[in-house]
Each structure stands twice: as structure tokens, then as C-alpha cells.
Structure 1
Amino acid sequence: MLDSGLYEQLHKALWVQKKLSETVARHWVTTEYQGLTLSSHFQPIFSISHRRPVGYEGLLRASTDSGALIPPPAVLVLPNNSKENLELDRACRQLHLQNFARQETGDCWLFLNLNSQCLVTEQPDAGFMNRLFETTGIHPSRLVIEILESEITDRSYLKQLIKHFRSLGCLIAIDDFGAGHSNFDRIWELEPDIVKIDRSLVQEAGKSSRVERILTGIVSLIHEAGSLVVLEGVETRREALVSIAANADMVQGFYFAKPQQLISSNHEEFVSVIDELLQHQQRQRFKNTHQINENFRKIERLFKRAINHFSVTQNFEESSEILFAEKRSVRCYLLDDAGYQMARNIYSPHYQQTMDVRFTPLLSGDNANWSHKHYHFRAVQHPGQMQLSRPYLSVADSRMCITVSQTVTSSDKQFVFCCDLDWQDN
């Protein structure tokens, strides 16, 4: 049983929420278009680090007089020309801004999709947006204009379009990046404030660790270009974990919240969800680190034996054979302190059975210099200490590997003894 004080607080909170819903409903804006009633729904865009919504995407909803729902794509094909397209686009922008302004949204952004196709022939008008900002009271800095850059082939005009909305004070987001023919050169050239990565890439990353690495790399490149990243269409727990691991700034999708007409001020559910995901990731990292340490204890023992054997005998091939007792060992190679390869690659018998002859030009290390590789640099910087690289794609055979390396002194000369370990997804 609830005590009376707690019961009164709960009753008051429910009453306030009910009154707010009734107030919003009375002032809710709809518009008529070709016999359809258009209205707004809003889907939260959550910041992972802040554990709360930082924006909402305005989404179109349409219904007939009988209440039947019409999919948004079916509405967007109703206009007959670019002028009618622009009229519909403006009607949607006005609708979303007015309904967004009628709710408690703090300082959150409103993300609006822009029909880029209609603006190819119909030039944007600053007066229309400025009137909307004035009538709704929403500052331009709270508006994020989403542009599907693949719809506009004229780069010069696309830049002008972005410049126009930036001059109003809005932020720019590139939408659906990673779908269709999206190119990174658009990111360097257009310098968007935010890049929204398409659902298809997130979905594939949830199924494949290889695609997950690609997604992480894409997020990193976009960050290097100076843009924030939203992963949209996150629908499963696995995809949510992938989004966090990829270092995305924000997430959007059914797993966290579905589009709703009324914007809720209660975000405790998301806080609990994101906290559980972050805790899971921390546990997984600890588990992975522990497992890697367990796996490489045997490698460490073998590597120390190989190092000691080489320092005494200077027989690199015999020393390498010691490491091939571990089936993951692929190849051994010897570098000098300047990174030049001092002997041919010695391949494990296990690996020779699966060697891909298509990469024959890369298999020989004769006259190679590896001083630019992290495993050489770190070994030279920390003499006598075994170094373990992160997984990377080896240029020697185009396979994922990890390199174990360490400096060793023999006959008053310093070498870097290296061993590549197979690190495929399986």
C-alpha cells in the first residue's frame, strides 16, 4: 500500500500530465491537403552520453475522413509539379514547427526533413522561415534541416541551399548517409553539423562483426571531418549495443522510443535502458580483455622462448618454429631498429595450407620497411617489452591479424622480432 503523501504526489503528477495532454490536444494543429488530414508525430533523438533526448524528428502523419491512415510516401507523391511539392513541403514544416512549439521541449532541437527535389527548381525564400520562427517563437538555432544530398546532383546549388539555411541560423544534417550512392566527398565538401547514418548500415552491423568494424570506422571518419553522428533506425538491443560501441553521439529508433503525437517529459525509461546497455558494454569489455589475456598467456610463453632462443643462436627460422606450436600463428619476420626487414617471412605450416595465392605479390617481405607500423614503433619505444597490437588488416595477405612484437639484442645489434596471429571473425 502507498502511504497517503506518496499517493497524493502520484495523483498530482498524473493530474498535471492529463491537463497538459488536454491543453496540447485543444491547441493541436492539423492541416487539410487533397482530402487528407495532415498532423505531426515526433520521435526522440537521444544523446548516449547525456542519457536524455536532445532533439525530436518531426514526422508526417496523414488520415482520411474515415480515419484510415495513409503512409507518408503516398502523400509525398500527390503533388503534380515542383511548385506543388514546395507548397506541401512548406505545409509540413509549418505543421511541425507549430505543434513542436505547443509542447514542453526545453532547448531540444527539431529535426525537419527537407524535400530537396522541389527546391531544385523552386528557390528557397528566407521570408517564409523567418515568419515561422516569429509566429512559433522557436529560435532558428533549434532547427536542424535534414537534407538528402543524393537527391541534388548539382553540387554548386546544394552548397547554396545549405548556405541559405545556415544564414537563417539553422543547423544542417545529411540524412540517410550510407544508403544508395552516399559519398564521403560530400561530407568534406558540405561540412554538415550532423550526419545521420542510414538504418541499413546499422542493421548489417548488428549481424556482422566485419560490418561493425566498418561502421566504427565510418563514425570515426565523420568525427574527423567535424560532424556529429546520429545512428537512426535502431530497433534491437544488439543494434543499440553496436551503436554505443561505434562511438555514435546520438541514437534514434523504435528500440528507444516510437514516434508519438505528444512529447513526454518522462525519460526515466530511456535512462534505465541506456544505463543497462553501458553496464553491459563495460562487462563485455572486461570479459573480452580477460579472455584475450587468457588466450595470449600461451603466446607470451612461446614468444619469450623464441626471443631467448634467437638472442642466443641468431637462428631466426628455428626461433620462429617455436611460435608455430600455436595454431593462430601465421608468420614471423625480423626487422632492424629502422624498420627494414632483415630476413624472409617464415610461415606457419598450418597457414601454408590455407594460403591465398591471389595475394602472392604481397607475401614476400624482401626489401620491405615497416617503420610506419605501430607494432615496430611501440617495440622500439619500449625495448625488451612484448607489444600486442590491435586487430588490423595485414597488407601481407589482406587478412585481419594481431602482431606480437619485441626488441631483442643479438651480437650487439637490436632487432624487432614480430609474429602475426590470425584474427578472423570466427
Structure 2
Amino acid sequence: MNRPRFIPNPDTVMPHFQPILSMDTQTIYAYEVLGRYTGPQGVRSLGPFFHDSSLSMEEHISIDRIIRRKAIASLVNAPENTRLFLNLKPNWIYHFRQRPEQLPTLRFLREHNIDPSRITIEITEDSFFDDIEELARVTRTYREAGCQIAIDDVGSGFVNFDRIAYIKPNILKLDLELVKKCGRESFFQEILRSFAVMAEKIGAFLLFEGIETREEVQIALSLGARYLQGYFFSPPQAAMQNPDAFRPILERQIQQFVDHALWQQHADLRAAEELRDSLLTCLHRLSDCDAITPGAADAFVHPFLELLPKMVIRVFLCDERGYQWSSNFTRQNGHWKQDSDFIGRNWAWRPYFLSNIVKATHQEAGKLSAIYTDAHTGKKMRTYIYPLPGNLFLCLDLT
């Protein structure tokens, strides 16, 4: 049996506002506008209506425009720095590709004399199969009018990098499910960290939505979140809130994050110093060594393998351009196994390699890399790079 089609009475439709919090000011930066309607059971979400594929795009758009118009009208009496995030599906925007000057949102802003810089157009990461360049052209009309652009639900499925590249968003909203999975599996943190790097490279800020716990706040902060949103702070409400309403809780969370981050930084420095001290005998010998030739690299490494601390699980010798001179020496069951197949391989492509080579050279001291996941073993590890005469470098992989 087909369920009856539900289209809300336009007179019952209204916007609700969920605060988006800024980490740099600890205040409400903006509100995401979400649709609600009043029915026999009280106020209800319009989410099921907008996700009902049996309804036409025109039916969805007609209700959404009512919500947008009312939300924009609410800015007339709001403080001047109040901003709104308005959700728009790519297909809705693409609908205006031939007449971008008629975009309803921009018309509503003109009607109420609202500065477009107070609006962020949030483009959802849903199915879109039309011309991405045309979509980007219409999106550019919003940007040229003064609006900011955000892409929603980044990471919810296979990431549409084309959309990100063409649209050039100011803000990337990270999918809440990935944030929740971070609490269970560290691998998801690495995926989110890649988005943080991407956002930094393209000049965008990260907004983490769906935050429900303190743990998720800390994960988001550790991954570079500038903005946070979720029920941990507030559900969507009919009225806007005091901009400073969440300052105390944000200050506590930021303080906790800073305390832990500083502890981690100092722990990293201590780890590097302890490693250097434990290698002191070996490193002193290395600093006094004569020039090493490629054919003598293995003979050079052999004598001090047994002196290395147990945290060292792999040793090899490279030159400054990333070419490996020695075999791989890997600790297995307490013994060192030699693998000459790695001689001649190049590691300059590894993200940490060249930057750490340069730092080790200029500081004339060992350099400890950040933690990474080894692609061969799947284990977390770090690499300690120590400079030798002749522009060679001893590389120690550590668990």
C-alpha cells in the first residue's frame, strides 16, 4: 500500500535555528536554518518531507522558499552580525543556470535590505548528474553578490572532489557519522585529518556538525575545526539565542584541548630527546665516520643494530634525494632480518621525508616525524632521521 503524500500547509511552515559556534570568538557565529511545521502533534521536522522522492522538485522548492523567506525576514530585527546558513540542493541551484540573476534567495535579501555577507549558501552533498561547470557558474553568482559558500556532508559517501574544486567553498561541513566513528576507530580520524589538510590548502574552514559528546568536541578541535554545531550545544530552536550563551562551555572545552595538545607536544620533544640519548653511543660513532660508499652501506649499518633500543623496528640508509643505499633491516621476533630488495628505492614521495631531511640537515640533529600509519604493516609508527657526513641519513622506524 502506498503511503499518502504529505505536503505541509504553507501557513504552518516556519524556520528553526541551530547555532554554529566559532572557536576563535567562543560565540555563536551563525545559525543553520532548518524547516519545521506545526501539526496535530505539535512542531515537527520537515526532514521527511524534503527526503520524500515521490514529491516533485517544485513541491520541495515551494515549501523551502517559504522557510527561506521567513528566515531572511527574521534578520531585519536581529543584531547586525547575525548570519544564516541556508541549505540548497545542487539540483535546485542548477535549475537557475539560465537565469542566475533571478535566484530567489538574492531577491529575498534585496526585498528586506539584508547584506548578502550575512548568508552562507550550504550546498548539500547529494546526487547531482548535470553539468558541474554550470552549477559552479550559478554558485559564483551567490559569491559575487557577497554570500559565502559551504559544502555540506563532505565525507558522507565517496567525496565529490570535482564539486569542491569547481565551487571553491569557504567552508567544508564534515559529516557527523565520520566524527562519531572517530570515537571507535582511529582510522576515521586519519580520513578526517586529510580533509583538514585539504581545507587548509584551498583556504577553507572546517565546520563539524552533529556534535553530541565532549569526546566529539575534542576530536573536532584536534582536527582543526573552526566551527562546531550539534545537540551537545543546542537543538534547533524557534528563536535565536544570546551570542555568548555557550562561551563558558566552549572555554572549558578549549582549555581541555590546549592542555592535552601542549602535553602531547612536550611528550614528543621528550621522546625525541630520550631516543637521542639512547642512541648516543651509536650516533657518536656515526658522526665520526668516514665517507660511506653505496657498496659499503650494509657493512656500515650492521655493527650497531644490536645497540638500538627495542622501539626501533626498522633501519635503513638514504641519501638526501630519497634513494635508499642500504638494505632494510627489520626486527622480527628479537632478531634482525636483512632485505636487500629495497636498495635503490626512492622515498622522497613520502609526505614527511624531504621536510624532515631539510630540518635534520639545518639543525644538525635527529628529527622525529609525526605519527603515521605504515602502509605495509598497518601499524602506527614514526621515523627518526639522523644526518650523517656526505649528505646521507640514517632512518629509524619506531613503534
In which range does the TM-score fall when normalised by the shorter chain?
A: 0.7 to 0.9
**Partner amino acid for 2:303?**
E
CA contact (8 A) 1:216 1:246 kept: yes
- Tell me which residue corresponds to 1:3: none
CA contact (8 A) 2:87 2:122 kept: yes
- The CA deviation at 1:178 is 0.9
- Tell me which residue corresponds to 2:202: 225
| Structure-2-length-normalised TM-score | 0.83
- The CA deviation at 1:239 is 0.8
For the structure 1 residues 108 and 406, does the alpha-carbon distance in structure 2 shift closer, same or farther, using more than 3 Å as the test? same
- The CA deviation at 1:395 is 6.1
- The CA deviation at 1:156 is 3.2
Aligned: 1:176 with 2:153: yes
CA distance in 2, matches of 1:260, 1:227: 28
Residue among 255, 261, 277 paired with 1:279? 255
* Equivalent residue runs for 1:294-313 within 5 Å: 295=271, 298-310=274-286, 311=288
Aligned: 1:403 with 2:386: no
Residue among 27, 44, 48 paired with 1:70? 44
CA contact (8 A) 2:93 2:139 kept: no
Aligned: 1:335 with 2:318: yes
- Superposition RMSD in Å: 3.1
* Equivalent residue runs for 1:349-388 within 5 Å: 349-350=332-333, 364-370=341-347, 373-383=354-364, 385-388=365-368
| Structure-1-length-normalised TM-score | 0.78
- The CA deviation at 1:146 is 1.2
* Equivalent residue runs for 1:13-412 within 5 Å: 33-34=8-9, 37-64=12-39, 66-76=40-50, 77=52, 80-102=55-77, 104-121=78-95, 126=102, 128-154=104-130, 155-265=132-242, 267=244, 269-293=245-269, 295=271, 298-310=274-286, 311=288, 315-323=300-308, 325-326=309-310, 328-336=311-319, 339-350=322-333, 364-370=341-347, 373-383=354-364, 385-394=365-374, 399-409=379-389
Summarize deviations over 1:149-202 as a string: whole Å, max 9, x none.
Answer: 433221133223313333443222111111123322321121122221111122
Which one is further off, 155-164 or 191-200?
A: 155-164
Q: Identify the structure with bigger relative contact order (alpha carbons < 8 Å, sequence gap 6+).
A: 2
CA distance in 2, matches of 1:157, 1:415: 52
CA distance in 2, matches of 1:55, 1:142: 9
**Partner amino acid for 1:389?**
S
CA contact (8 A) 1:38 1:61 kept: yes
For the structure 1 residues 91 and 351, does the alpha-carbon distance in structure 2 shift closer, same or farther, using more than 3 Å as the test? farther
CA distance in 1, matches of 2:340, 2:251: 47
CA distance in 1, matches of 2:340, 2:230: 45
- The CA deviation at 1:331 is 0.9
- Look at both structures and tell me which one has the larger radius of gyration over its CA atoms: 1
- Tell me which residue corresponds to 2:295: none
Summarize deviations over 1:45-95 as a string: whole Å, max 9, x none.
Answer: 11111211121111111121x343333123323984333333222112112
For the structure 1 residues 179 and 352, does the alpha-carbon distance in structure 2 shift closer, same or farther, using more than 3 Å as the test? farther
**Partner amino acid for 1:246?**
L
For the structure 1 residues 305 and 59, does the alpha-carbon distance in structure 2 shift closer, same or farther, using more than 3 Å as the test? same
**Partner amino acid for 2:172?**
V
For the structure 1 residues 380 and 396, does the alpha-carbon distance in structure 2 shift closer, same or farther, using more than 3 Å as the test? farther
CA contact (8 A) 1:150 1:181 kept: no
**Partner amino acid for 2:307?**
I
Summarize deviations over 1:367-424 as a string: whole Å, max 9, x none.
Answer: 13446533333222233x2222222344665643212222244xxx5642221102xx
**Partner amino acid for 2:343?**
D
CA distance in 2, matches of 1:367, 1:78: 57
Summarize deviations over 1:222-265 as a string: whole Å, max 9, x none.
Answer: 22112222111111111111111111221111122222212122
For the structure 1 residues 69 and 419, does the alpha-carbon distance in structure 2 shift closer, same or farther, using more than 3 Å as the test? same
For residue 62 of structure 2, give the secondary structure of its aligned residue in structure 1: helix
Task: Structure 2: state its 5+ residue gaps.
Answer: 1-6, 291-298
Summarize deviations over 1:4-61 as a string: whole Å, max 9, x none.
Answer: xxxxxxxxxxxxxxxxxxxxxxxxxxxx943771122111111111211121111111
For the structure 1 residues 257 and 421, does the alpha-carbon distance in structure 2 shift closer, same or farther, using more than 3 Å as the test? same
Task: Structure 1: state its 5+ residue gaps.
Answer: 1-31
CA distance in 1, matches of 2:248, 2:192: 25
- Tell me which residue corresponds to 1:9: none
- The CA deviation at 1:125 is 6.2
Identity %: 24
CA contact (8 A) 1:120 1:152 kept: no
For the structure 1 residues 100 and 351, does the alpha-carbon distance in structure 2 shift closer, same or farther, using more than 3 Å as the test? farther
CA distance in 1, matches of 2:391, 2:89: 64
**Partner amino acid for 1:57?**
E
For residue 373 of structure 1, give the secondary structure of its aligned residue in structure 2: helix
Which one is further off, 208-217 or 237-246?
A: 208-217
CA distance in 1, matches of 2:321, 2:9: 74
For residue 176 of structure 1, give the secondary structure of its aligned residue in structure 2: strand
**Partner amino acid for 1:49?**
D
CA contact (8 A) 2:13 2:63 kept: no
**Partner amino acid for 1:226?**
G
For residue 390 of structure 1, give the secondary structure of its aligned residue in structure 2: coil
